[in-house]
A and B are shown apart, each in its own frame.
Chain A
């Protein structure tokens, strides 16, 4: 059996993600972003022993084993919490795409060639430590995890989340507020079963 047919909206999402990855971010240049992605995938690279690379590998491979002490060590080695949030955004989004493409039978998508763009730093002044280990706008909760780096938050929560699963809003259609939604023949209950099983395998108990 070959690759499972993928709807255009998901392929378009993946193209947007690859464009985001190859461009400069908030705290990292385009080149640094693709190196972070490569580290997450376990691609051996010379001179890549940076706190960002360490963070990328851990987030990708063993997220359930991340502790505050481990994060503190990264900070002591020079990684700011804002940078950590951007790494988290890059790696978690990459994992979503990679897992999907592996599942449907596609080969691993090569990482994009980065542009020459540098970072565009932007501090979110109303992000504070509020229930999590990184600053968030409001309490630390699924929709706010990446809120101190808006570009990552938009990519994850306003794009990927809605295209792959459901939009994090109320209302009719493909939204989390719609408890009777069926998407491509998969019922809401089946969706939540897959979500629960994924979380169980990843040892995530939220």
Chain B
């Protein structure tokens, strides 16, 4: 969906920036969004305060709130899929290599 949305918006993105903060993904605000998301998912109270402040400074309060809402939704969605054993469809099996994080063997083996 990230690639599709970037194409729809005429944006050029580097998918490997999802997996590495040292790479500019081309998504506006990617560094503060990464810090914000990580702090929320990992429940780090110290990092959360800092990440939230930096996100608000760069993106604004409402946008920061919405990013956290999206993260919350995908906390739900990730669990729904993992808990019943649904892995990535074959057409995106290479996504792990693209974002710099190899897919676990349990997903690769279903297509071999």
User: Which A residues are within 8 Å of any B CB, using their own CB?
Assistant: 1, 4-7, 10, 59-60, 63-64, 66-68, 84, 88, 91-93, 95-100, 102-105, 131-134, 136, 140-142, 145-146, 156, 160-161, 163-165, 176, 179-180, 183-206
When A and B form their complex, what is the total count of cross-chain residue pairs whose Cβ atoms lie within 8 Å?
241
Shortest distance between the CB of A193 and any CB in chain B (Å): 4
- 18 A-B interface contacts by CB (under 8 A): A66-B83, A99-B40, A100-B68, A104-B52, A133-B84, A160-B73, A161-B76, A164-B73, A185-B66, A187-B5, A191-B67, A194-B37, A195-B70, A201-B41, A202-B78, A202-B79, A202-B82, A206-B87
**Whole-angstrom distance between the alpha carbons of A32 and B65 in the complex?**
32
Chain B residues, CB < 8 A from A176: 1
The answer to whether A185 touches B59, judged by C-beta atoms less than 8 angstroms apart, is yes
Chain B residues, CB < 8 A from A191: 5, 66-67, 70
Of residues B9, B34, B72, B103, which shows the largest number of chain A Cβ atoms within 10 Å of its Cβ? B72
> DSSP class of A's interface residues: helix, strand, loop or mixed?
helix
Of residues B2, B11, B107, which shows the largest number of chain A Cβ atoms within 10 Å of its Cβ? B2
Chain B residues, CB < 8 A from A200: 18-19, 99, 101
Size category of the binding interface on chain B: 35 or more
The answer to whether B37 touches A205, judged by C-beta atoms less than 8 angstroms apart, is no
The answer to whether A194 touches B42, judged by C-beta atoms less than 8 angstroms apart, is no
Given contacts A4-B56, A105-B52, A205-B96, whether A187 and B9 have CB atoms under 8 Å apart is yes
**Whole-angstrom distance between the alpha carbons of A133 and B82 in the complex?**
10
Nearest B residue to A84 via CB reads B83
Given contacts A179-B8, A187-B9, A189-B2, whether A194 and B67 have CB atoms under 8 Å apart is yes
User: Which B residues are within 8 Å of any A CB, using their own CB?
Assistant: 1-2, 4-6, 8-9, 11, 13, 18-19, 25, 27-30, 33-34, 36-43, 48-49, 52-53, 56, 59-88, 95-96, 99, 101, 103-104, 107
The answer to whether B76 touches A132, judged by C-beta atoms less than 8 angstroms apart, is no
Chain B residues, CB < 8 A from A199: 74, 78
**Whole-angstrom distance between the alpha carbons of A196 and B28 in the complex?**
15
Nearest A residue to B59 via CB reads A185
Chain B residues, CB < 8 A from A96: 72-73, 75-76
The answer to whether A4 touches B64, judged by C-beta atoms less than 8 angstroms apart, is yes
